[in-house]
Chains A and B, each alone.
Chain A
Amino acid sequence: MSEEKSWREIPLGGLTWLHSSEYKTGEWRSFRPVVDHNKCTRCMQCVIYCPDIAIKYKPDVNMIEINFDYCKGCGVCAEECPVHAITMVKEKE
């Protein structure tokens, strides 16, 4: 949480002033998607479906990358991967 401001320090009208990318939803996760990049065909299904916009395609290295700051561990990517390149593993305590 951001440091709380007084009424004079914040903009009017309830205008937001922080981007949610500064809010890490990765802490919610109890299962973690693990990608087998050898199996991965770069089909982009997981990138397209991920509800948390947590999977990016990196064209320079031609790889997908999961951002664990945001991934909530829903398992949609693993379920939808046509070649089963993603497995969900339990997060350690």
Chain B
Amino acid sequence: MSKIVKQEMMGMNGDTACAYAVKQCNPEVVAAYPITPQTIIVEVFSEYVANGEVTTEFIPVESEHSAMSTSIGAAAAGARAYTASASQGLALMYEMLYIASGLRLPIVMTCVNRALSAPINIHGDHSDAMGARDSGWIQLYCENSQEAYDTVIQAWRIAEHKDVLLPVMVNIDGFILSHTLENVAVLPDDAVKKFIGEKKIPVVKKPSGELTPYVLHPDYPVSMGAIDLQDYYFEHKRQQAEAMKNALKVIKEVGEEYGELTGRRYGLIDAYMMDDAEIAIIVMGSTAGTAKYAADLMREKGVKAGVLRVRSFRPFPRDDIVKTLSKVKACAVLDRSISFGSYGGPLFTEIRSSFCYECEKPIIINYYYGLGGRDTPPNLLENVFSELKRIVETGKIGEEIRYLGLREDSIDSVNYKAELISFKDLNTGNIGGK
């Protein structure tokens, strides 16, 4: 334990924790555009720039599309590039997300998770990041502001690892983390600097055997972003799949090394009282904290409850998850976004399919929760555990796909349905009804 660095406690919200970590990492370029609930990151970082606390070129771009484009240009030129966004901003970046990963540029971004319009809603859920789950970005979801700080620092090491070279999205829940004050242990500047190390340039080998640095530099006329047709596009996507696979190992290694430095170890998943758990909640982000609290309450009642928090959603740690859940009797996967028309949420479908060929598998049900920032207090999670307990006891599963924290009807109503009328009826005021 003696290797652990002395750290200072600072009262910070999640956004500030991210900005502070970025300050300590001092990337060459930060290009960002404000959006609630990410705005604090941009504002706080601007202050660091204004006060000369970083040597970063800060580019207050005119849109998120340009934020990512600028980050791509900067990273391609050999710089460390950071950006932050949320919701509509991430959606506007969508095109460029795929380009950042396809070009294998190790950009780091904080996504302060927020619901997507319409209707417009500024509060937390995972719809924004889930829309980007196939974009080739590594996606890590944080439980608290401490982890947000820690993960932004680790992200560079993961992204820039020679076996990975992929962009990393650090997800923190809007408001619940971004705007809530928390005590965060911060490393001294030089420890951060040493941990992330000097920015290295990847060198690649052409089929001719010639070595080329993968960077836009006057001495090496490389071409990036060529048009890649039927003959090679597939090969490049295969390479990305391999890099994602490699990231599984790298995320663990970096999390371990970071643990040795700070005393806070991180991995792909975070298993809470799962060793002997019979029922479990599987969740990502800040709700894991509440779920752990609910598990404690269940344990007090003698119920063997546990929580599996998925920290890395991309790459998806299938093996770790299967191993952790294989002895569980019933579990509930909590999804904070809806993949409309899908049989269950994104986390649920992925976990269920992970068990497809396993002999030992738990009963798995799905809850949608927390959309648009809907509160998910401990009692709701206790209810989930109680349901799981009931399922184990009775063997009756009931609805597989459920909604948590959604109001029930007080009266029988079909108001959510519509009738159709013609333009002629519209003009004459004949809109039906009695």
Direct contact of A and B (CB under 8 A): yes
Q: Which of A1-60 contact B (CB under 8 A)?
A: 1, 4-7, 9-17
B47 within 8 A of A: no
Contact between A7 and B207, CB atoms less than 8 A apart: no
Provide the residues of chain B in CB contact with A14, threshold 8 Å: 102-103, 224-226, 228, 232, 236
Contact between A12 and B104, CB atoms less than 8 A apart: yes
Q: Digit string of B383-413 for contact with A (CB within 8 Å is 1, else 0)?
A: 0000000000000000000000000000000
A12/B165 contact (C-beta < 8 A), A17-B206, A17-B207 known: yes
B339 within 8 A of A: no
Provide the residues of chain B in CB contact with A12, threshold 8 Å: 104, 165, 202, 204, 214, 236, 239, 243
Closest to B227 in A: A14
A15/B239 contact (C-beta < 8 A), A5-B207, A9-B207, A10-B232 known: no
Provide the residues of chain A in CB contact with B222, threshold 8 Å: 15-16
B231 within 8 A of A: yes
How far is A82 from B230 in the complex, measured between Cα atoms in Å?
Answer: 45
Contact between B235 and A13, CB atoms less than 8 A apart: no
Provide the residues of chain A in CB contact with B236, threshold 8 Å: 7, 10, 12-14
Count, A-B residue pairs, CB within 8 A: 63
Which of A4, A6, A12, A16 has the most chain B CB atoms closer than 10 A to its own CB? A12
Where chain A touches its partner, the secondary structure class is loop
Residue of B103, B204, B226, B235 near A7 (CB, 8 A) is: B235
Where chain B touches its partner, the secondary structure class is loop
Q: Which of B224-264 contact A (CB under 8 A)?
A: 224-226, 228, 231-232, 234-236, 238-239, 242-243
Shortest distance from the beta carbon of B229 to any chain A beta carbon, whole Å: 11
Provide the residues of chain B in CB contact with A15, threshold 8 Å: 204, 206, 212, 214, 222-224, 226
Residue of A1, A7, A16 near B223 (CB, 8 A) is: A16
Contact between B212 and A7, CB atoms less than 8 A apart: no
Closest to B202 in A: A12
Residue of A1, A10, A13 near B207 (CB, 8 A) is: A10
- Residues of chain B at interface, number, CB under 8 A: 29
How far is A4 from B223 in the complex, measured between Cα atoms in Å?
Answer: 19
- Residues of chain A at interface, number, CB under 8 A: 14
Contact between A16 and B165, CB atoms less than 8 A apart: no
Provide the residues of chain A in CB contact with B238, threshold 8 Å: 7
Contact between B231 and A13, CB atoms less than 8 A apart: no
How far is A5 from B208 in the complex, measured between Cα atoms in Å?
Answer: 11
Provide the residues of chain B in CB contact with A17, threshold 8 Å: 206-208, 210
How far is A9 from B236 in the complex, measured between Cα atoms in Å?
Answer: 11
Provide the residues of chain A in CB contact with B208, threshold 8 Å: 17
A13/B214 contact (C-beta < 8 A), A5-B235, A6-B235, A7-B239 known: yes
Closest to A17 in B: B206
Shortest distance from the beta carbon of B208 to any chain A beta carbon, whole Å: 7
Closest to B203 in A: A11
Shortest distance from the beta carbon of A80 to any chain B beta carbon, whole Å: 29
Shortest distance from the beta carbon of A76 to any chain B beta carbon, whole Å: 25
Provide the residues of chain A in CB contact with B205, threshold 8 Å: 11
Shortest distance from the beta carbon of A53 to any chain B beta carbon, whole Å: 15
Provide the residues of chain B in CB contact with A11, threshold 8 Å: 204-206, 212, 214
Shortest distance from the beta carbon of A20 to any chain B beta carbon, whole Å: 10
Which of B102, B225, B228, B236 has the most chain A CB atoms closer than 10 A to its own CB? B236
Q: Which of B123-159 contact A (CB under 8 A)?
A: none
How far is A1 from B230 in the complex, measured between Cα atoms in Å?
Answer: 13
Provide the residues of chain A in CB contact with B204, threshold 8 Å: 11-13, 15
Closest to A9 in B: B207
Provide the residues of chain A in CB contact with B206, threshold 8 Å: 11, 15, 17
- 12 A-B pairs with CB atoms under 8 Å apart are A7-B236, A10-B207, A12-B104, A13-B103, A13-B105, A13-B214, A14-B102, A15-B212, A15-B214, A16-B222, A16-B226, A17-B208
Given A7-B234, A7-B235, A12-B202, output 17 extra A-B contacts at Cβ < 8 Å.
A6-B235, A7-B239, A11-B205, A11-B212, A12-B239, A13-B214, A14-B103, A14-B224, A14-B225, A14-B232, A14-B236, A15-B206, A15-B214, A15-B223, A16-B222, A16-B226, A17-B206
Name the 5 nearest CB pairs between A and B, nearest first: A11-B204, A17-B206, A7-B235, A13-B104, A7-B238
